[in-house]
Structure 1
Amino acid sequence: MKKQFLKAGWLGLLAAGILTHAAWGQSDPTGKRRVTSTYAITNATVITSPGQPGSKATVVFKDGVILGVGSGIQIPKEAKVFAGDSLFIYPGFIDGAGNMGITKPKDPERPKDFVSSNPPDEIAGITPWRSATEQFSASSSQVDDWRKAGFTISQVIPDGGMLPGKAAIMVLGAGNATNLIQINSGLAANFRGSRGMYPATAAGVMAKFRDVYQNSTLALEHEKMYASTAGVKRPQVTPTQQGMAAVVQKQIPVIFTAPSDLEIRRAIALQKEFGFKLILSGLENYETVIDLIKSTGTPVLIKLQVPDDKAVKAQKSEGVTEDTKAQYARVKEAYENALKQAAMLEKAGIAFAFTTIDAKAGDAMKTIQTLVKNGLSEKAALAALTSNPASILGISRVAGTIEKGKMANLVITTDSLFKEDSQIKHVVADGFVFDFEVKKKAANGNGKTDGAPAGSVEGVWEYTSETPAGSSGGEIVLKRTNGVLSGTISYDDPAGSGKVTSPIKNASVNGKTLSFEFDVNAGGLSLTVSITGEINGNSMEGSLSVPQMGSFPVKATLSSPSLSN
């Protein structure tokens, strides 16, 4: 039986259940298992930091830490090696003050002696002692969605009232791990009033913030005096005052959600009054206060979204009055200015980052591309996703760039990140590898070659693949009919009885990259195997990907070119 499965090669091993999670597949989108902890991605175009040109390099990481980056990196013997040909590697994206994976806490019951003009802090939404870790779930579908969009770290803030609690910085790795990088990384705050009680208005929130801050300051002074002076009454410190202590002592910042210019001014006014550290988050309309933000040196997190253009598209071109036309012009100007705000921040020299709060993961890259089209440089856009948030959150030592010793957080794309057709194929978070479906670029997915030279891949290719089961291979036969590429591939029968052949599907050639799929039945298990490789003359190098097993290096040689070549 053992010899029979050795003859069957890697598919036989799958059918035997010997290999169920290896290589890329060790971290299917659930990220629950990691069979090995050492990986090497070879010959990929690596962009180590914003503004740096991409260069062909190898990235090696182990136990979630990058061991080396470069062209002459020594690959450990135990490493799982993947061909990164035609792929681009960027630092993992970082989210500031987001709410992915956060659940809303239960509203506390009001006491019988409740007085709306002076409610208990917890009832009024003043809970600075709480931690976002109490509300965060790494297995949330929101976390999956944002990881698919390239995010590997998120500073999450708790849900609640005007002072909902402390933020925590989480790595979006395995769903069954703690994922905590830093607890109590800032105090979340906003101008959200309490319904039916004080503070119900923005002015009331500001007054209450002053009251809480000043009482917390007095409580700390009382504690200090009690600790050093005899005869002083023992202080009665409330949970709110204890929760505010780190802010008063300037150990952590207040992360004020302030979408409008008015709320930005209010938050900065409070900061000037008390001198606490401040981060502005959730910015939407900030064009008029850019100079104020710059003069105060306040770090900012802008929303990763752009306003919709429904109002602009709804404008009529005929049958409208001059007043209506003027109104249309103002609406259009406001919309265009909103799209240019990020570029204005860059021009002002303000190093901003993004927050995913209220944004949609599926629109993330489209939003970035829209901002770039409206004046934001690609360097600043990448910085806002990587190095800037790392600096703002104080985690530059471990994240934000691809360097030896930093966390293995990577975004792996099919093309340069800012190209419209670029797609995220893999995301590495905390050393766990997540694979995502990549849509075929060929028209209708029918194998058309998108401008590749006709007949350049037709013929018989002899291929070999190196897997944990050893070397195996067969023949790839490609032909084109009416512009559609098709063919067959032979491989070791999973049942161990020689070679079998399957038809090729979804074949396409984009530039020098050939990709296709074929179906295999392995011990009653139906799966789709994909091959992607870069063609140079009569040779090809790339990877062979098997669901639940992973990706393995594959090489092929065109032994019998088509007569049409």
Structure 2
Amino acid sequence: MKRQFLKAGMAGLLLTGILSHTAWSQSDPTGKRRVTETYAITNATIFASPGQEGTKGTVLFRDGVILGVGANLQLPKEAQVIPGDSLFIYPGFIDGAGMAGITKPKDPERPKDFVSSAPPDEIAGITPWRSITDQFSISASQVDDWRKAGFTISQILPDGGMIPGKASILVLGNPGTVNVLSENSALATNFRGSRGMYPATAVGVMAKFRNVYQNTTLALDHSKLYASAAGVSRPEVTPTQTAMSAVVQKQIPVVFTAASDLEVRRALALQKELGFRLILAGLENYESVIDLIKSTGTPVLIKLEIPDDKAIKSQKADSASTATKAQYDRVKEAYDKALKQASLLEKAGVPFGFSTMDTKPGDALKAIQTMVKNGLSEKAALAALTVNPAQILGINRVAGTIEKGKMANFVISNDSLFKESAQIKHVVADGYVFDYEVKKKTPKDNGKSDNGTVKVEGLWEYTSETPAGSSGGELTIAKEGDDYSGTITYDDPSGGGKVSAPIKNVAVTGKTITFEFDVNAGGNNLTVTITGEISGTSMEGTMSVAQFGSFPLSAKLTTPGLTF
């Protein structure tokens, strides 16, 4: 079958995807298929590493590996070119400890002879032999949500009890493969006690961890002695001890989730006593232990979240008593201190990364920007997203910066990441290009009717930005009673100029309009959905079809109020 790109436009794009089985000229939003393994993002502003000034240039990559970065690269003929004008490229973000795409295993049944003071390890939540590869799904919606937030690599932790199992470092790339960068990269541990049995408290967790660690040490010593000397009884090694051996032998670290300053102290005390390699993760309240963390040189992954400000916004100081106002002041002071904690780590010279556990992907950029507003430098913020976690996880040879030979992992935004206007337009993970909708900022609405609904009747000229290129047409909308009707023109898939179709299922709610139209592409009838937000005589929205995803669309009302 002839492999060629048809005329740009949504219909052409759809027909191409169905008949020619070619990938789109930039990428497939799902990242599932590519017409070539070679890409070039041209004329973009590149921030190759934290602290470096942005420079205009091109990033060339093939098979998920960066081939070159610079202003005068020679591009191979097979390279798919993604215009990067007005775009900003950063190294792909790295999540030091996350749980996206994880399902919690079922709790095992308690045996008939169950004793709550001495439960079996699996019943008590001690399962170091488990691996996240048994719990993880790359196609989970959470994975795409975090990828959309800019994360291209994540050390995924298993869910479960106090020792739920071993983490792995995964690339959030091709949804069709496992994408393991480093399997069994760390042991996940936390202070979560067991309900109705030992260990039920944080102190009990410490005691049990100490017991498991020391018994593993004894079992290893016994095995060595049995292998080297005669007359030694055969060692009985449990699954827990076998799985813990890598920790005792310092082959992998323990990622200890410690949200509060007290939990940080407890984790550091265990490390000092037993000598295992430690990474502190999920830190929320840590200002009072920053000096302690620095003195021990322990790697830190703080929670990618800022405290909720609802308590601040709900304060009504005008009518409050003196005592209440004093309480308000204390709440505000605690809130302000929490926002400044990351900057205090930077001032203390403690490099840190981020953990996304129990946080929302949609709030990630806002959290970073808020930390910067409260004293964290942009250099330190970018380092916390890239080079610091790469160093902590031991993957800095292949990730963390944009350099020749490293993995093709990028975040591509429409503005500086540290500005409120920044939106992520593309994410490249392991060389797979994912496209995301960017909504243009529009002025406040000045075209509302008396009932608060915008006026949509008239002739609109629209432009759609599909990966196959830019195309456009005309949209006419008329109102008959409470119903709307109209037509839309688009590029004929067969290359015969413009064709038109009636629009249907038109709905106008507040500033939002939605409608559909049908496209016949090579005998296949496809329904295209348009959703737009109207401000005055401008519309910004998306054009989408279930099989292919969504693409930006903008329109201008050139002749309002026409009747058709």
Asked if these proteins are the same fold (TM beyond 0.5), I'd say: yes
How many angstroms apart in 2 are the aligned matches of 1:418 and 1:310?
23
Change (3 A) 1:271 1:162: same
Partner of 1:165: 165
CA distance in 2, matches of 1:203, 1:433: 47
**Distance 1:250-1:3 versus aligned 2 partners, 3 A rule:** closer
Amino acid across the alignment from 1:494: P
- Corresponding residue of 2:554: none
Q: Does 1:67 align with 2:67?
A: yes
The 3-state SS of whatever aligns with 1:259 is coil
Distance in 2 (CA, whole Å) between partners of 1:551 and 1:41 is: 21
1:237 and 1:133 map into 2 onto residues whose CA distance is: 24
- Equivalent in the alignment of 1:416: 416
Change in CA separation of 1:349 and 1:522 when aligned onto 2, cut-off 3 Å? farther
State the shift of 1:320 in Å.
2.8
1:323-349 superposed Cα distances (whole Å, 9 cap, x missing partner): 222222111111100000000000000
Q: Distance in 1 between matches of 2:296 and 2:328?
A: 35
Retained in 1: the 8 A contact 2:190–2:256?
A: yes
Distance 1:446 1:90 in 2: 37
The code of the aligned residue for 1:240 comes to: T
Please say if residues 25 and 549 of structure 1, whose CA atoms lie closer than 8 Å, have aligned partners that are also in contact.
no
Match of 2:496 in 1: 497
Q: Does the CA contact (< 8 Å) of 2:369 and 2:418 recur in 1?
A: yes
In the other structure, the counterpart of 1:451 is none
Q: 1:60 to 1:201 in 2, by over 3 A?
A: same
Aligned residue in 1 for 2:396: 396
The one-letter code matched in structure 2 to 1:90 is Y
Query: Partners of 1:493 and 1:127 in 2: how far apart?
Result: 60
Aligned twin of 1:450:
none
AA aligned to 1:393 is L
Decide whether aligned partners of structure 1 residues 445 and 434 sit closer, same or farther in structure 2, where only a CA change above 3 A counts: farther
Q: How does 1:211-230 map to 2 (within 5 A)?
A: 211-230=211-230
The count of aligned residue pairs is 498
Q: Does the 8 A contact of 2:26 with 2:81 survive in 1?
A: no
2:179 matches 1:179: yes
2:440 aligned with 1:440 = yes
Distance, in Å, in 1 between the alignment partners of 2:128 and 2:359 is: 25
Aligned twin of 2:23: 22
One-letter code of the match for 1:424?
A: I
Using the TM superposition, give the Cα deviation of residue 310 of structure 1 relative to its aligned residue in structure 2, in angstroms: 1.6
How far does the alpha carbon of each residue in 1:513-556 deviate from its partner, in whole angstroms, 9 at most, with x for none? Answer: xxxxx999462445589xxxxxxxxxxxxxxx99888999xxxx
User: Are positions 1:380 and 2:374 aligned together?
Assistant: no
Q: String of CA shifts for 1:420-462, please: whole Å, max 9, x gaps.
A: 1110011111111111111122226999xxxxxxxxxxxx9xx
**C-alpha displacement of 1:318:** 2.8
Residue in 1 aligned with 2:275? Answer: 275
Does 2:109 correspond to 1:109? Answer: yes
Secondary structure at the residue paired with 1:318? Answer: helix
- 1:500 to partner: Cα distance: 5.6
**Distance in structure 2 (CA, Å) of the matches to 1:389 and 1:3:** 43
**Alpha-carbon distance between aligned partners in 1 of 2:5 and 2:289, rounded to the nearest angstrom:** 69
* Paired residue secondary structure (2:186): strand
Aligned partner of 1:232 in structure 2 is 232
Counterpart amino acid of residue 29 in structure 2: D
Larger relative contact order (CA 8 Å, sep ≥ 6): 1
In the TM superposition, residue 203 of structure 1 has moved relative to its aligned partner by 1.1
Please state how far the C-alpha of 1:178 moved relative to its aligned partner. 1.1
Residue 191 in structure 1 maps to residue 191 in structure 2: yes
Mapped partners of 2:430, 2:4: distance in 1:
38
What residue in structure 1 maps to residue 150 of structure 2? 150
Shift of 1:319: 3.5
Shift of 1:12: 5.0
CA distance in 2, matches of 1:475, 1:259: 52
Deviation at residue 416 of structure 1 after TM alignment: 1.1
**Corresponding position: 1:92 with 2:107:** no
Aligned-residue RMSD, C-alpha? 3.6
Change (3 A) 1:71 1:528: farther
Q: Unaligned regions of 5+ residues in structure 2, if any?
A: 448-460, 475-487, 503-515, 531-542, 552-564
The offset of 1:406, in angstroms, is 1.0
Q: Return the alpha-carbon distance in structure 2 between the equivalents of residues 212 and 297 of structure 1.
A: 25
Look up the match of 2:450: none
- TM alignment of 1:355-366, pairs within 5 A: 355-366=355-366
Map of 1:430 onto structure 2: 430
Displacement of 1:473: 9.7
Distance in 1, matches of 2:9 and 2:435, equals 23
Q: Partner letter of residue 410 of structure 2?
A: L
Q: Deviations over 1:484-522 (max 9, x none)?
A: xxxxx998632343456999xxxxxxxxxxxxxx99946
Relative to structure 1, the CA distance from residue 122 to residue 9 in structure 2 (aligned partners, 3 Å threshold; closer, same or farther) is closer
The residue matched to 2:334 in structure 1 has which SS?
Answer: helix
Give the CA deviation at 1:4. Answer: 13
Displacement of 1:25 in angstroms is 5.8
Contact 2:169 2:183 survives alignment (8 Å): yes
Q: Distance in 1 between matches of 2:388 and 2:495?
A: 54
In 2, Cα distance between the equivalents of 1:224 and 1:68?
50
Aligned-pair CA distance for 1:287: 0.5
Matched AA of 2:303: K
Contact 1:44–1:84 (CA<8 Å) still a contact in 2?
Answer: yes
Which region of structure 1 is more displaced relative to structure 2, 375-384 or 494-503?
494-503
Equivalent position of 1:39 in the other structure: 39
Letter aligned with residue 496 of structure 2: S
2:326 maps to amino acid: A
- CA apart distance, 1:135: 0.6
Q: What stretches of structure 1 of length at least 5 have no aligned partner?
A: 448-459, 478-488, 504-517, 530-544, 553-565
